[in-house]
């Protein structure tokens, strides 16, 4: 092994808004003191209850992905396991997500964008 995953960093225009969005989906603590990072207007973190750390980095001229346009690719996405897709969809939309692709009703996932435009999937657990 060469390395261990420290965190996943998402570029965005507003680090507080996006960290609170993911906190509302995943739980955890926004901006918990951690000697690895200096927190501020340009950097925020979310330490989830499951141990995953998401970090949010402010980018002045953030250009969100335009899924599925290859000219502005998604670059990465998160898969979030849920028990009930319909209820989870309602919850993430209420929190500021946008539905990108609901599928045909038969598959076990749906694609959304967070408030900064990053795609993520809700996947039936």
Nearest to 78, CA basis, from 48, 106, 107, 58: 48
Q: What is the CATH number of the domain that holds 108?
A: 3.10.180.10
Interatomic CA distance for residues 39 and 65, integer angstroms: 25
| Residue 71 domain-assigned (yes or no) | no
pLDDT at position 4, please? 80
Residues 54 and 86 in one domain: no
pLDDT in tens, 40-85: 999 999 999 999 999 999 999 999 998 888 898 877 788 898 999 9
The answer to whether the CB of 111 falls within 8 A of the CB of 121 is: yes
Residue 82 lies in a domain: yes
At 101, the pLDDT band (50, 70, 90 cuts) reads very high
**What's this model's pTM, rounded to 2 decimal places?**
0.84
Domain assignment present for 63: no
Its domain, for residue 82, covers 78-124
- pLDDT surpassing 90 at residue 1: no
Strands 98-101 and 109-113: antiparallel
Same domain? For 48 and 89 the reply is: no
Domain count, the chain: 2
Q: Give residue-wise pLDDT tens across range 2-53.
A: 678 889 999 999 999 999 999 999 999 999 999 888 899 999 999 999 999 9
Residue 108 lies in a domain: yes
Is residue 69 a part of any domain in this protein?
no
d(CA 124, CA 81): 6
């Amino acid at each position: 092994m060469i390395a261990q995953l420290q965190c996943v960093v998402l570029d965005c225009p507003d680090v507080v808004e996006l960290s609170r969005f993911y906190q509302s989906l995943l739980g955890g603590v926004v901006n918990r003191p951690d000697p690895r990072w200096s927190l501020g207007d340009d950097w925020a973190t979310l330490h989830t209850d499951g141990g995953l750390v998401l970090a949010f980095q402010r980018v002045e001229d953030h250009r969100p992905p335009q899924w599925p346009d290859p000219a502005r690719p998604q670059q990465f996405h998160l898969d979030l396991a849920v028990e009930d897709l319909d209820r989870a969809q309602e919850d993430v939309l209420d929190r500021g997500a946008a539905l990108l692709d609901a599928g045909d009703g038969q598959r076990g996932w749906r694609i959304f964008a967070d408030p900064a435009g990053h795609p993520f999937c809700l996947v039936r657990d």
